[in-house]
Structure 1
């Protein structure tokens, strides 16, 4: 009986093996004690074919942390890992997690955000600010030009503008060729009045 090599396995089985050894839970997912499970990127060194197959899953299937200023430049898989500088590798990354501070001036433009994230598979924006309801959503408006993202989530310190965040999520999922309706700020103000009345 002839011995089978790894490459003799059907492609779908190899892909499942790659997923098992290369994919981490999203950074925003609840973790078990002990943190993330280990991954084994060493599998990419087996041979050229395995490298080509596995890198698409390692970089295309994981959620990477976007750089706070460079966005999709110098991403990293986790804070403990080195940043990625190769543009050839970055081109495979289609899922990003970005922390946006509302109480700091952003070091990127709306054009930067549109170019970095339009058309990707997934974009999760975690909103932070030092003081509860201390800032509005002006910084988030930089993402209004992002289009065609398959899965979006804006969460965190968004108590003052939940409807805007819902609108922004929808906008970022909208195909580029489809027009969008401007956000009506009066809707948010009405919602916030209810919140203020409730808090009295």
Structure 2
């Protein structure tokens, strides 16, 4: 009599796997939005196997809002401005020789093109380091682009600002 196979992540229905991926990969985690507990994601699930990567990568890159770098735009996406940049983990289907090139940038670039939701902070006190064409090219595949406009001098007294403008 054949023994039943051991249950694994890939033996459960896709709908349930998608719920697991969302819990692991959406920032802040869905179950903890109201609670102020640990706010971390677990992208290591992407390297479990090729099928898991193919199923879970759209959740990570399609449902999270990534913060664009103020000067480099989409070159260094982050889940929060103070987080380190997101780096694509090498795929299991890559050979050992290509995994070193994947971690050096080409795989990371492919991950950036899958990001659909962006947030950009624009400081009105300084001229941007990019042109309109740079912005158009950087966010061409975006489904959502949120602009957060700020001014650094909003807390400065009016008297100081008028004296500063006279000097200029």
Give TM class, smaller chain.
Answer: 0.5 to 0.7
Counterparts of 2:37 and 2:128 in 1: how far apart (Å)? 30
- TM-score, length of structure 1 as denominator length: 0.57
Match in the other structure for 1:67: 69
User: Are the counterparts in 1 of residues 68 and 77 from structure 2 also a CA contact under 8 Å?
Assistant: yes
* Structure 1 unaligned spans of 5+: 135-200
Shift of 1:97: 1.0
Aligned residues: 129
The answer to whether residue 123 in structure 2 is matched with residue 101 in structure 1 is yes
Q: Is the 8 A contact 1:25 1:36 kept in 2?
A: no
Structure of larger gyration radius: 2
Residue 37 of structure 1 and its aligned partner are, at CA, apart by 2.0
Q: Is the 8 A contact 1:24 1:36 kept in 2?
A: no
8 A contact 2:28–2:40 mirrored in 1: no
Give 1:101 deviation, angstroms.
0.4
5+ residue gaps in structure 2? 87-104, 157-168
Moved over 6 A (4+): none
Shift of 1:43: 1.3
Of residues 132, 142, 155, the one that matches 1:110 is 132
- Give 1:14-163 correspondences, 5 Å limit: 14-25=17-28, 34=36, 37-84=39-86, 86-132=108-154
The answer (yes or no) to whether the contact 1:22–1:39 under 8 Å persists in 2 is yes
CA RMSD of aligned residues (A): 2.4
Structure with the higher helix share, 1 or 2: 2
Q: Which residue is equivalent to 1:171?
A: none
Contact 1:67 1:98 (8 Å CA) reproduced: yes
